[in-house]
């Protein structure tokens, strides 16, 4: 397993290697943020908007006097962690529903399909803002709402992929042997549907990550005093008028992770599609 992974990394293009490095660095920062940070996540340690390097603050302080470096590192843990959990839940709900719709067909497929069509007909951002305004903006509510909205996209892909698999001879043979629905989905459909689903997971993670950051920028995402890159851009946006690029740091962290994940997804799709470069 380790040897295959090393071979894959060696033959990967520079863009995919860069993406893998970015993901590893972000994952390391997210896991070890309390060890890497010099101050507490919400600790006020200085005056508001202190410049870079003054008072021992490498990246200065924010609008409340909190250390920007500490907030950015903790923001990686909070923003990435919540986005990852949300994406996993979206794939669990959407993937199971899509496989069931493809395997059962008939009224099950029609009911699930029409329900998903109704949800997708409503603009996702407006729908999320409406539900979060009513239900509140706690982290569990945020995860559930975004996961359910994003599971509609996962459902469409999972159903489309599974529809091509359930008609295969080996699936029919499993059914004739008397295997149950869950066995067929777990042992026959899921393994053959993994490549497109894994690639979609990377893309969905980027969309969820950006969506959560956007909601936080609007004030309905991750709530203070929890560090979050979207809200950090909003809280320090006034510095841009004075030529200070501090608000661009969390925005750049969002953009860099998105680019890195997309590089890796592109490489994975190229490898699993069977395409090979001749030069």
Most confident among 6-10, 86-90, 137-141 (mean pLDDT): 86-90
Q: Is residue 181 within 8 Å of residue 104, measured between CB atoms?
A: yes
- As for how many domains the chain has, the answer is 1
Find, among 119, 273, 259, 162, the residue nearest to 202 by Cα.
Answer: 259
Q: Is residue 151 within 8 Å of residue 97, measured between CB atoms?
A: yes
Q: Is the dihedral of CA 58, 62, 65, 67 positive or negative?
A: negative
Structure tokens at 221: 């995402």
Give the lowest-confidence range in 39-43, 178-182, 211-215.
178-182
Distance, in Å, from the CA atom of 229 to the CA atom of 210, rounded to the nearest integer, reads: 10
Is residue 42, in this structure, part of any structural domain at all? no
First to last CA, the chain: 28
CATH value at residue 142: 1.10.3720.10
Q: Is the dihedral of CA 248, 253, 258, 260 positive or negative?
A: positive
Which stretches does DSSP call E strand in the chain?
Answer: none
Q: What is the overall mean pLDDT for the chain?
A: 86
Structure tokens at 243: 């030529």
Is residue 91, in this structure, part of any structural domain at all? yes
User: Which residues fall within 8 angstroms of residue 195, CB to CB, at 6 or more apart?
Assistant: 268, 269, 272
What's the pLDDT at 5? 64
Distance, in Å, from the CA atom of 252 to the CA atom of 206, rounded to the nearest integer, reads: 14
Is residue 243, in this structure, part of any structural domain at all? yes
Q: Phi and psi of 65, rounded to 5°?
A: 90, 20
- For the whole model, what pTM was predicted? 0.87
Distance, in Å, from the CA atom of 84 to the CA atom of 216, rounded to the nearest integer, reads: 16
Whole-Å CA distances, 112 to 106, 116, 156, 157, 159? 10, 6, 10, 13, 10
278 has pLDDT over 60? no
In this prediction, residue 21 has a pLDDT band, given cuts at 50, 70 and 90, of very high
Is residue 11, in this structure, part of any structural domain at all? no
pLDDT tens, 255-270? 999 999 999 988 888 8
How many alpha carbons fall within 13 Å on the CB side of residue 66? 21
Domain assignment of residue 139, given as a range? 77-272
pLDDT tens, 157-190? 999 999 988 888 888 888 888 878 888 888 888 8
Q: Phi and psi of 44, rounded to 5°?
A: -85, 115
pLDDT tens, 52-74? 887 778 888 888 889 999 999 99
Asked if the bond preceding 225 is cis, omega within 30° of 0, the reply is yes
Structure tokens at 164: 């091509």
């Amino acid at each position: 397993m380790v040897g295959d992974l090393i071979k894959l990394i060696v033959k990967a293009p520079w863009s995919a290697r860069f993406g893998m490095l970015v993901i590893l660095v972000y994952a390391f920062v997210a896991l070890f943020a309390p060890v890497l940070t010099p101050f507490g996540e919400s600790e006020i340690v200085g005056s508001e908007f202190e410049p870079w390097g003054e008072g021992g603050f490498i990246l200065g302080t924010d609008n409340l006097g909190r250390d920007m470096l500490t907030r950015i590192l903790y923001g990686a843990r909070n923003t990435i962690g919540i986005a990852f959990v949300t994406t996993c839940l979206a794939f669990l709900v959407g993937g199971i529903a899509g496989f069931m719709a493809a395997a059962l067909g008939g009224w099950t497929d029609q009911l699930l399909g029409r329900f998903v069509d109704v949800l997708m007909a409503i603009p996702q951002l407006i729908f999320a803002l409406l539900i979060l305004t009513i239900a509140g903006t706690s982290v569990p509510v945020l995860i559930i709402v975004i996961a359910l909205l994003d599971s509609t996209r996962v459902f469409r892909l999972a159903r489309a992929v599974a529809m091509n698999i359930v008609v295969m001879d080996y699936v029919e043979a499993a059914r004739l042997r008397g295997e149950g629905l869950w066995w067929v989905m777990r042992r026959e459909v899921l393994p053959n549907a993994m490549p497109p689903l894994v690639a979609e997971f990377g893309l969905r993670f980027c969309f969820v990550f950006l969506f959560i950051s956007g909601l936080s920028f609007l004030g309905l995402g991750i709530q203070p005093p929890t560090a979050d890159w979207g809200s950090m851009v909003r809280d320090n946006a006034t510095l841009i008028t004075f030529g200070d690029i501090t608000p661009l740091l969390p925005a750049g962290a969002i953009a860099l992770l998105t680019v890195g994940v997309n590089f890796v997804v592109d490489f994975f799709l190229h490898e699993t599609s069977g395409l090979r470069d001749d030069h």
